[in-house]
């Protein structure tokens, strides 16, 4: 008995879109169905390694019936039972459904290109409804006694489920084409689509072709239309740009067909394998959403698909790389579970990482502009490696770039360029962390470095602060934060000691007045124009790190600031003169608090009582206009 069931709301909305809104590039429906069929065969193929009953002559068939206006895609893959059909197709809203629709609504104007992306959201099956007014799916689960299932839907809110006769395992999807989709009854059209998008599919895709016999009679015969040549086993010179593009779009969940670089790896010796890896061009909108983004590389063993997301093959910080690894050393019956323990994977991963980092280095050296674009998209992910992959630390340090105090027009520089430009008197590599270039650039602590001509790296990625916890040296030079107290700045030691003596009354006064907020008040060589600045103890969290923790709702103790005063500033002199003067006591206290708040603002920290600060400043303004 047929049961009618309703689609989940989201699936329903998606179908509406498919049926009524997406008209550009409807060709991709076939790519999606063939990809699903190939995935289903991959699964059955894998299962057959341990279950001989399942061994099959694996293939995908496309049949055209012009009279009834149908196109049918058949595979002899893993198939589905009833529970799986309703779980996979229709009832349960898959996580990608909502994300796909959100992307459509965010990019209305670009929606023309949207069907291209559908496969990456795990909703490819529904693209059938771009061309079909009705879909019948018959499927039988391989290696099980579950009855075959018939699923029918016109895509309008509901579908029916029933049992049916089907003896061979696998899935058959019959599309009743819409009137305006009759082009897909044209055999050449379908053959072209398959060449374009599905050529590399490892199983034969059969599309019957008309054969004219010698006696002029015609008959249909099966014809395999894809070359099936695994692209990663071919020589780079034998692969066309179009083939790379179509393979890349199949692999990546980064959208589109544009990649930055295709990398072939052919390793012999300890671990024999071939790989084809892609560096993407642009980051996907969901780069930072781990539940949607697939991670890892595809793993094949001697051309047999093993798994889709083999995380052991590539570290997290290179998760933007997609590709295929085909190993000759792993046992074919390797189970996905024991993969993790296989030492070959670690060896392969090492080679893969080396190769990718090497390619990036070459790109940096040979195509600076291209590399900078890449770095703008993926740099923050790459930097994670500095904290997690110490073995490749030096190579990664060569690849990171920063803006800096001396670099003109916000240009990025590498650490190597930084070190090369260091004046002889400069010993350490200086950096400042913060959330924006504009705010770090105006921090008064930079005044000394500006005067000395020392460059300071601007680290304004949220991840930089975290990374700096484990970046100690580069080319034997230590990294030093300019907002920390442990710098050995040149000269002026005597001058500072003298000032400390001369202004001891002011120093004492400030310590008392600012109370628990400051750990120390002292004079500094860091300043030229500003009266004062704030820094923290060498071991303490930087103010930026503090803000990051707070933004993540983490309770952390406030690190106390060291208030550093400028020996040569007129204001310091004037304030010093006010200390001890009874009638100016109140005024002095106000001025000191303004100064303190100003210093907090300059380092980018929030004020405890912004309203009180604003009132005091207004008072000052009034005085000056009077």
| Closer residue to ligand ADP in complex, CB, 114/548 | 114
SS (H, E, C) 172-207: EEEEEECHHHHHHHCHHHHHHHHHHHHCCCCCCEEC
Q: Residue 55 is encoded by which pair of tokens?
A: 């061994």
CA angle 249, 232, 128 (to 5 degrees): 30
Query: To the nearest whole angstrom, how small is the minimum distance from the Cβ of residue 122 to ligand ADP?
Result: 4
Stretch of 31-39, 149-157, 320-328, 403-411 lying at the interface with ligand ADP (CB under 6 A): 31-39
Does residue 40 belong to the site contacting ligand ADP (CB under 6 A)? yes
Among 14, 31, 58, 75, binds ligand ADP (CB under 6 A): 75
Judged on CB neighbours under 10 Å (0-12, 13-18, 19+), 85 is: buried
Query: To the nearest whole angstrom, how small is the minimum distance from the Cβ of residue 207 to ligand ADP?
Result: 17
Query: To the nearest whole angstrom, how small is the minimum distance from the Cβ of residue 235 to ligand ADP?
Result: 31
Query: To the nearest whole angstrom, how small is the minimum distance from the Cβ of residue 216 to ligand ADP?
Result: 38
Query: To the nearest whole angstrom, how small is the minimum distance from the Cβ of residue 73 to ligand ADP?
Result: 8
Residues in the interface with ligand ADP (CB under 6 A) total 16
Among 88, 91, 439, 616, binds ligand ADP (CB under 6 A): 88
Does residue 255 belong to the site contacting ligand ADP (CB under 6 A)? no
Query: To the nearest whole angstrom, how small is the minimum distance from the Cβ of residue 88 to ligand ADP?
Result: 3
Stretch of 74-82, 261-269, 272-280, 399-407 lying at the interface with ligand ADP (CB under 6 A): 74-82
Query: To the nearest whole angstrom, how small is the minimum distance from the Cβ of residue 145 to ligand ADP?
Result: 18
Query: To the nearest whole angstrom, how small is the minimum distance from the Cβ of residue 290 to ligand ADP?
Result: 17
The answer to whether residues 169 and 76 touch, using CB atoms and an 8 Å cutoff, is yes
Does residue 71 belong to the site contacting ligand ADP (CB under 6 A)? no
Cβ-based neighbour number of residue 502 at 10 Å: 15
| Closer residue to ligand ADP in complex, CB, 140/274 | 140
Look at phi and psi of residue 416 and say left if phi exceeds 0, alpha if psi is from -120 to 50, else beta.
Answer: alpha
| Closer residue to ligand ADP in complex, CB, 173/599 | 173
Stretch of 32-40, 148-156, 328-336, 508-516 lying at the interface with ligand ADP (CB under 6 A): 32-40
Among 12, 31, 36, 521, binds ligand ADP (CB under 6 A): 36
| Closer residue to ligand ADP in complex, CB, 88/158 | 88
Q: Which residues pair with 211 in a beta bridge?
A: 219
Identify the CA nearest to 85 among candidates 138, 155, 17, 154.
138
Q: Residue 431 is encoded by which pair of tokens?
A: 């950096």
| Closer residue to ligand ADP in complex, CB, 34/578 | 34
Query: To the nearest whole angstrom, how small is the minimum distance from the Cβ of residue 301 to ligand ADP?
Result: 22
| Closer residue to ligand ADP in complex, CB, 164/601 | 164
Stretch of 33-41, 45-53, 427-435, 601-609 lying at the interface with ligand ADP (CB under 6 A): 33-41
The answer to whether residues 328 and 287 touch, using CB atoms and an 8 Å cutoff, is no
Cβ-based neighbour number of residue 333 at 10 Å: 11
Stretch of 30-38, 489-497, 534-542, 555-563 lying at the interface with ligand ADP (CB under 6 A): 30-38
Task: For residues 361 and 357, give the distance between their C-alpha atoms in angstroms, rounded to a whole number.
Answer: 6
Query: To the nearest whole angstrom, how small is the minimum distance from the Cβ of residue 35 to ligand ADP?
Result: 7
Does residue 78 belong to the site contacting ligand ADP (CB under 6 A)? yes
Which H/E stretch holds residue 396? helix 393-399
3-state SS, residue 550: helix
Q: Are strands 473-474 and 477-481 parallel, antiparallel or unpaired?
A: antiparallel
Stretch of 76-84, 99-107, 239-247, 357-365 lying at the interface with ligand ADP (CB under 6 A): 76-84
Does residue 37 belong to the site contacting ligand ADP (CB under 6 A)? yes
| Closer residue to ligand ADP in complex, CB, 137/548 | 137
| Closer residue to ligand ADP in complex, CB, 172/455 | 172
Query: To the nearest whole angstrom, how small is the minimum distance from the Cβ of residue 305 to ligand ADP?
Result: 14
The answer to whether residues 413 and 404 touch, using CB atoms and an 8 Å cutoff, is yes
| Closer residue to ligand ADP in complex, CB, 310/487 | 310
CA 472 to each of CA 393, 465, 468, 546, 550: distance values in angstroms, whole numbers, following the listed order: 11, 13, 7, 20, 25
Stretch of 72-80, 257-265, 325-333, 562-570 lying at the interface with ligand ADP (CB under 6 A): 72-80
CA 458 to each of CA 199, 280, 369, 401: distance values in angstroms, whole numbers, following the listed order: 48, 26, 20, 10
Identify the CA nearest to 396 among candidates 469, 474, 327, 316.
474
Stretch of 75-83, 180-188, 446-454, 488-496 lying at the interface with ligand ADP (CB under 6 A): 75-83
| Closer residue to ligand ADP in complex, CB, 28/579 | 28
Task: For residues 474 and 162, give the distance between their C-alpha atoms in angstroms, rounded to a whole number.
Answer: 67
The answer to whether residues 548 and 465 touch, using CB atoms and an 8 Å cutoff, is yes
Does residue 89 belong to the site contacting ligand ADP (CB under 6 A)? yes
Q: Residue 582 is encoded by which pair of tokens?
A: 């009874």
Among 171, 404, 460, 542, binds ligand ADP (CB under 6 A): 171
Q: Are strands 132-140 and 273-280 parallel, antiparallel or unpaired?
A: unpaired
Task: For residues 91 and 77, give the distance between their C-alpha atoms in angstroms, rounded to a whole number.
Answer: 22
Question: Alpha carbon 76 to chain centroid distance?
Answer: 35
Work out whether the CA dihedral 193, 197, 198, 199 comes out positive or negative.
positive
| Closer residue to ligand ADP in complex, CB, 32/455 | 32
| Closer residue to ligand ADP in complex, CB, 66/144 | 144
Identify the CA nearest to 320 among candidates 356, 345, 366.
356
Stretch of 36-44, 311-319, 546-554, 560-568 lying at the interface with ligand ADP (CB under 6 A): 36-44
Angle between helices 28-48 and 187-198 (to 10 degrees): 60
Does residue 205 belong to the site contacting ligand ADP (CB under 6 A)? no
**Per CB under 6 A, which of residues 108..167 are in contact with ligand ADP?**
122-125
Among 77, 531, 543, 604, binds ligand ADP (CB under 6 A): 77
Task: For residues 127 and 145, give the distance between their C-alpha atoms in angstroms, rounded to a whole number.
Answer: 30
Task: For residues 562 and 575, give the distance between their C-alpha atoms in angstroms, rounded to a whole number.
Answer: 19
Judged on CB neighbours under 10 Å (0-12, 13-18, 19+), 402 is: buried
Query: To the nearest whole angstrom, how small is the minimum distance from the Cβ of residue 201 to ligand ADP?
Result: 13
Q: Interface mask (CB under 6 A) for ligand ADP, residues 512-541, using x and -?
A: ------------------------------
Binding site for ligand ADP (CB under 6 A): 32, 36-37, 40, 75, 77-80, 88-89, 122-125, 171
């Amino acid at each position: 008995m047929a049961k009618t069931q309703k689609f989940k709301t989201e699936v329903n909305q998606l179908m509406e879109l498919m049926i009524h809104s997406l008209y550009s590039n409807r060709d991709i429906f076939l790519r999606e169905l063939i990809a699903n069929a190939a995935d289903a065969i991959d699964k059955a193929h894998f299962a057959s390694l341990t279950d001989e009953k399942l061994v099959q002559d694996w293939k995908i068939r496309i049949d055209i019936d012009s009279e009834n206006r149908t196109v049918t895609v058949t595979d002899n893959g893993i198939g589905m039972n009833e529970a799986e059909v309703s779980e996979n197709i229709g009832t349960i809203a898959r996580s990608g459904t909502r994300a796909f629709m959100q992307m459509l609504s965010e990019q209305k104007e670009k929606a023309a290109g949207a069907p291209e992306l559908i496969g990456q959201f795990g909703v490819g099956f529904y693209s059938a409804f771009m061309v079909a007014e009705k879909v019948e799916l018959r499927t039988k689960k391989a290696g099980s006694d579950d009855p075959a299932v018939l699923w029918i839907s016109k895509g309008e809110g509901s579908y029916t489920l029933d049992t049916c006769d089907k003896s061979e395992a696998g899935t058959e999807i019959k599309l009743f084409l819409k009137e305006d989709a009759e082009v897909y009854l044209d055999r050449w059209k379908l053959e072209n689509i398959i060449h374009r998008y599905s050529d590399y599919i490892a199983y034969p895709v059969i599309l019957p072709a008309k054969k004219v016999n010698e006696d002029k009679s015609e008959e249909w015969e099966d014809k395999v239309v894809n070359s099936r040549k695994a692209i990663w086993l071919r020589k780079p010179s034998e692969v066309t740009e179009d083939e790379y593009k179509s393979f890349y779009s199949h692999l990546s969940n980064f959208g589109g067909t544009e990649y930055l670089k295709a990398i072939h790896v052919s390793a012999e010796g300890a671990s024999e394998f071939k790989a084809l890896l892609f560096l993407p061009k642009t980051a996907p909108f969901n780069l930072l959403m781990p539940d949607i983004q697939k991670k890892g590389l595809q793993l094949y063993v001697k051309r047999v698909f093993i798994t889709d997301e083999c995380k052991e093959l590539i570290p997290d910080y290179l998760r933007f790389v997609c590709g295929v690894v085909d190993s000759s050393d792993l046992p074919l019956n390797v189970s996905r579970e024991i993969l993790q323990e296989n030492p070959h994977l670690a060896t392969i991963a090492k080679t893969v990482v080396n190769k990718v980092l090497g390619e990036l280095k070459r790109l940096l050296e040979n195509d600076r502009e291209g590399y900078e674009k890449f770095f703008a998209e993926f740099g923050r992910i790459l930097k994670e490696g500095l904290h997690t992959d110490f073995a490749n630390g030096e190579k990664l340090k060569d690849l990171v770039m920063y803006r800096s105090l001396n670099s003109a027009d916000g240009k990025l520089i590498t650490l190597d360029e930084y070190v090369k430009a260091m004046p002889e008197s400069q010993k350490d590599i200086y950096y400042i962390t913060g959330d924006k270039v504009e705010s770090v650039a105006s921090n008064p602590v930079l005044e000394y470095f500006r005067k000395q001509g020392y460059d300071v790296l601007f680290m304004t990625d949220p991840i930089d602060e975290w990374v700096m916890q484990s970046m100690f040296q580069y080319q034997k030079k230590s990294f030093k934060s300019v907002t920390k107290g442990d710098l050995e700045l040149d000269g002026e030691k005597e001058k500072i000691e003298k000032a400390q003596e001369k202004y001891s009354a002011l120093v004492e006064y400030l310590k008392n007045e600012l109370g628990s907020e400051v750990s120390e008040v002292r004079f500094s060589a860091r300043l030229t124009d500003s009266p004062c600045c704030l820094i923290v103890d060498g071991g303490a969290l930087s103010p930026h790190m503090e803000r990051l923790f707070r933004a993540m709702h983490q309770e952390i103790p406030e690190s106390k600031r060291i208030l550093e005063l400028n020996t040569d500033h007129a204001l310091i002199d004037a304030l010093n003169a006010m200390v001890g003067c009874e009638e100016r006591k109140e005024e002095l206290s106000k001025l000191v608090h303004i100064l303190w708040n100003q210093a907090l603002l300059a380092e980018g920290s929030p004020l405890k009582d912004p309203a009180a600060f604003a009132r005091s400043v207004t008072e000052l303004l009034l005085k000056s206009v009077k």
